[in-house]
Amino acid sequence: MTAARRGLPLLAAALGSLLGITLLGPPALAVEDVVAPQVVNGRLGDPREHRNLVVLASRSNYEASGLYDAQVCGGSAATSTIIITAAHCVRSRGSTVRPSSLVVASTPSGELSDPDAQVVRLDSIVVYDAYDSETQRGDIAVLHLAEPLTGIEPLLPALPAEASELAPAGGLVQVAGWGATTADGDRFPDGFRVGDLTMFPRSACGGGRNVTIDGVTFSGYGSNDVDPTTMVCAEGVRGDRVIDSCIGDSGGPLTAGEGEQRRLIGVVSWGPERCASRYSGVYTRVSAFSSFLREQGVPFAPTPTNRPLPPTIITESVTPDSATITVQLSADGTVATSISVTARDRQGKVRTCTMPTEDLVAVECTLTNLTLARRYTVTAVALNGTDTSEPSEAISVKPADRPSRPRIDYAEPTPGGAVFGVSRVRSNGSPLTKRVVVCLSASAPKRKADIAPGGLAEVAGLRSGVVYTCRAKLANALGSSRSSAVTLRAN
């Protein structure tokens, strides 16, 4: 998928035109501000079930024309004074807008024209500090209100373990907002809409594979489009119609669970230029930003059990028969007392190691008796007594071996020498002690040159007219390897 298909500038401009908002002038929002997605092919929302849903609007347009003409994004109330929304909703020309340029509102009826809507000003805006407006990674922000909203029911964000349980691949989730109700983004509702969606697996949300939902096949996003560690994908199908969030829904909630177990899973972030297409809407993965949200005073539900949250494998180092794995513990939820790391090869043979955490943030564990040059799938779990977390994301590990066999891609004679391009210069886990190109001839002395980090080697001192046989050679503590020979006649 190309960047143009995301349609960020087009959708921002379209929303400004449709809602009467001057997106290019202060204090309203600019080109990077309003991305896809409203709810296309959704249903009218019941305000009693979505008391957390709030409106983010331009203050100047609200004062001139009311909420309907001023609404630009949605948001979720985590408390009566703390709102979670999308970072792009509060950005203009690369900077965060002034809090005084926006208002937040809740409507008892769910309608923007409701005369009883409560509208409050903002005290501060905090955007996630690593937000990237090009890729939309980190598209999350917290708004602190100048006074409390009344009549709302706060929605708590999901921790990683809750998100995995409430919204697995294929699980049902809901999106709500006042965004466009047509795929072209040319019609906007007074009352908010709700869409029932299905969570995509990571293979289709960052893995590039297609996915079929209720007989409709959707194109998957590759890793160049979606970061599955910080984003989720979801789309719905009702009969032969695709259900999707759209222009104006940005910043609004993607939720999972029911009753007291209902949690904020995602924040509406971006999508293809045409809503309800065969590409899904993309949402900020809220559980990936729990530390940021805690720093802003956002509350989380207590961990219901002593089960720790999944750890993260951050580094690995290898020898010919071992691998040392560094595991990062989760800062949220129950504190782990130990970690266990498992390596499994393709034949199903398993090696494990266990280490106490001793109140450390990161723990090293060394897997021993691994087979040379065999590839292993490695995962880690955190433990608190007999309670065990879900496994971490898996990584692939291969014990150290002698260097890979290099390849000479080209050899070009120069006056008195030759230039070589060498690829496959890989140490295979043990630092290289030699990386050279050697040229031999029966009638002239041997000549050689080191291979530079970019794979370039410049051999000097070759005799004009002499034919040389040249090879690239690599060595480490475990052995050596060399390329196929190339021949050249020196100039």
| Residue-wise pLDDT tens digits, 173-231 | 999 999 988 877 677 888 899 999 999 999 999 999 999 999 899 999 999 999 999 99
Phi, psi dihedrals of residue 62, rounded to the nearest 5°: -65, -45
pTM of the model: 0.60
pLDDT tens-place string over residues 389-417:
888 989 999 999 999 999 999 999 999 99
**In sequence order, what DSSP letters do the residues of 367-423 get, joined into one string?**
E-SPPTT--EEEEEEEEETTEEPPPPPPEEE----SPPPPEEEEEEEETTEEEEEEE
Look at the block and give the residue holding tokens 């993309």.
282
Measured at the CA of 93, the angle between CA 87 and CA 96, to 5 degrees, comes to: 40
pLDDT band per the 50, 70, 90 thresholds, residue 302: low
Residue with tokens 């409050």: 120
The end-to-end CA distance of the chain, in Å, is 48
In the predicted model, what is the mean pLDDT of residues 282-309? Answer: 85
Instruction: Check pLDDT > 90 for residue 373.
Output: no
Taking a C-beta distance cutoff of 8 angstroms, is the pair 27, 100 a contact?
Answer: yes
Q: In this model, does residue 23 exceed pLDDT 50?
A: no
Residue-wise pLDDT tens digits, 238-255: 888 999 999 899 999 999
484 DSSP 8-state letter: P
Sorted by sequence, the CB contacts under 8 Å of residue 281 that are 6+ apart come out as 36, 37, 175, 197, 233, 234, 235, 244, 245, 246, 268, 269, 270, 271, 275
The type of residue at 48 is R
Task: Write the DSSP assignment of 224-261 as a string of letters.
Answer: TT--TTTEEEEEEEETTEEEEE-TT-TT-EEEES-GGG
Residue with tokens 């007594």: 385
Indicate left, alpha or beta for 106 from its phi (over 0: left) and psi (-120 to 50: alpha). Answer: beta
Amino acid 349 reads K
- Each residue of 473-487: pLDDT tens digit? 999 988 999 999 999
| β-strands 82-85, 322-328 pairing | unpaired
* The two three-digit tokens of residue 361, written as one number: 């943030």
**Residues 59, 70: Cα–Cα separation, whole Å:** 7
Residue 171 backbone dihedrals phi, psi, to 5 degrees: -75, 160
Q: What share of the chain is helix, strand, coil (3-state, %, to 5)?
A: 10, 40, 45
> Average pLDDT over the chain, rounded to whole?
87
Instruction: Spell out a b/e string for 93-102, using b for 16 or more CB atoms within 10 Å of the CB, else e.
Output: eeeebebebb
| Gap between the Cα atoms of 421 and 445, Å rounded | 22
Q: pLDDT tens digits for 79-127? A: 999 999 999 999 988 899 999 999 999 999 999 999 999 999 999 999 9
Tokens of residue 352, six digits:
């494990």
pLDDT tens digits, 438-466:
999 999 999 999 999 999 999 999 999 99
Q: Are 399 and 320 in contact (CB under 8 A)?
A: yes
Q: Which residues contact 188 (CB under 8 A, 6 or more apart)?
A: 18, 19, 38, 68, 178, 179, 180, 181, 248
Distance of CA 300 to the CA centre of its chain: 22
Could you tell me the domains of the chain?
1-301 (2.40.10.10), 312-397 (2.60.40.10), 407-489 (2.60.40.10)
Instruction: Give residue 293's identity as a one-letter amino acid code.
Output: L
DSSP 83-127: EEE-GGGGEETTEEPPGGGEEEEE-TTSBTT-TT-EEEEEEEEEE
Q: Are the beta carbons of 336 and 389 closer than 8 angstroms?
A: yes
**Percent of the chain whose pLDDT exceeds 70:** 90
**Number of Cα atoms under 13 Å in the Cβ half of residue 136:** 31
Could you tell me the two tokens for 137?
Answer: 């990674």
**CA–CA gap between residue 380 and residue 365 (Å, rounded):** 10
